[in-house]
Every structure is written in C-alpha cells, then in structure tokens.
Structure 1
C-alpha cells in the first residue's frame, strides 16, 4: 500500500514511516502542511494518508483530509494526542477511516490500516 504521512513532528513521522515500511508498505512522502501534502498527493498518488489532527502553524489535519478526499480521492486515518470528545466529533465530519491515539504502539498503526479495509 502507498501511504502519505502528514505530521509536523519529524521524529514521529519517521517512526511511523519505519513501522509502515517494516510491514511492507511504501511511504510515498512525508508532509508537514496542506500545501506539501497536496503536492505529494498529486505526484505520488497514495492509497491512504496518516494525518496528525493538529499540524501547528494554524493548519489542521482536518483541512488536509478534506482536501485530499475532495481533490484526489484519498482517504485518511487520523493521528491525535487529543482525546476530547469535541475533536473526535469534528474529525468525524471528514469521514476518516480510523483514529490512532498518541502515544501509539506499532501495532496501533498497522491495526488502523487493517481495520480500514482499503
């Protein structure tokens, strides 16, 4: 599976990349912003994106998810360290394939892909 990672923390992005590649998936790019994620989506055509809900700098993974879905037909799985109900409800409007809570275990990342039925 070809996967795009959208995460503003480089160490977390690299860790997720290692987990996914170790399981035989292809990480086709790591982005930290809406602009970068759209550029990679257009050129690399991922099957799914792992998105941090809070990208910092005023950008939201929710916005990225909506753009990836509407412009490129790419579904998303959200990563979040926020467990409050309001954030989860807002994220559901983007129709994600799933959620992974931070801190995560490697199997959480892989289980999210399996449960997404992509």
Structure 2
C-alpha cells in the first residue's frame, strides 16, 4: 500500500489523535488535524493532502460535509466520512459530495486503514 498524506478533520481531540496514530502506524503521514472547516482549508492549502478523514458533525454548527465539499472543489482532495450518525438524510447529503466511503463510529483500527487503502 502506498503511503498517503492525510488530513484529519475531527473536533474531538482524543478521536483525532487515535486516528493519527492508526494512520501513522500504517505508514501514512498525517499532515495535520483540523477542528473547524476554516482550519481544514488552511491546512490543505499548506500541506497538499491526498485524502481527508472528516467527522460529519464538527460541533459549533459546522459540518464535515461542508469541509469535504470545499476540500474536493478547491484542492481535489477526496474524503472519508467518520460518523456515529446512520440516518438516511445525512448519508444522502454526504453522497452528493462523492466520498470515498464512510467509517462508522465506534470504528476499529482496521476500518481506518482499509478506508485509506481505497485510494492508496
């Protein structure tokens, strides 16, 4: 599997750090962790990620769906959504953005690694 430059967009520090550790153990480079849409776009501009893992609900009214849409349009970065929400409406909205896939929380480390391998 090729090593990828990956951006993590997650507002929960513990989850973000866990995902970073899982990806780095799988020989990927995590270029940064963003907690907001604005931070995600700044990091992407600076670090040129090849993939983003995005929490659907970033808190404070922000959505990982918006971040994924902007990352895709502005930088061509595909996304994998992390969510504990399984309702149809959220998944349908996410599909408009054409993510690589979904990882349902609580996730297993192998779910994260497998999702990254879809483009690696």
Which TM-score band (shorter chain)?
over 0.9
Indicate the residue corresponding to 1:68 in structure 2.
71
Which runs of 5 or more structure 2 residues have no equivalent in the other structure? Answer: none
- Tell me how many residue pairs correspond in the alignment: 117
1:117 Cα deviation from its structure 2 partner: 2.7
Distance 1:105 1:64 in 2: 24
Which runs of 5 or more structure 1 residues have no equivalent in the other structure? Answer: none
Indicate the residue corresponding to 2:29 in structure 1.
26
Distance 1:38 1:17 in 2: 18
1:95 Cα deviation from its structure 2 partner: 0.5
* Cα RMSD for the two superposed structures: 0.7
Distance 1:17 1:65 in 2: 18
TM-score, normalised relative to structure 1: 0.97
Q: Does the alignment pair 1:117 with 2:119?
A: yes
Distance 1:72 1:26 in 2: 18
After superposing on structure 2, the runs of 4+ consecutive aligned residues of structure 1 that deviate more than 2 Å are none
TM-score, normalised relative to structure 2: 0.95
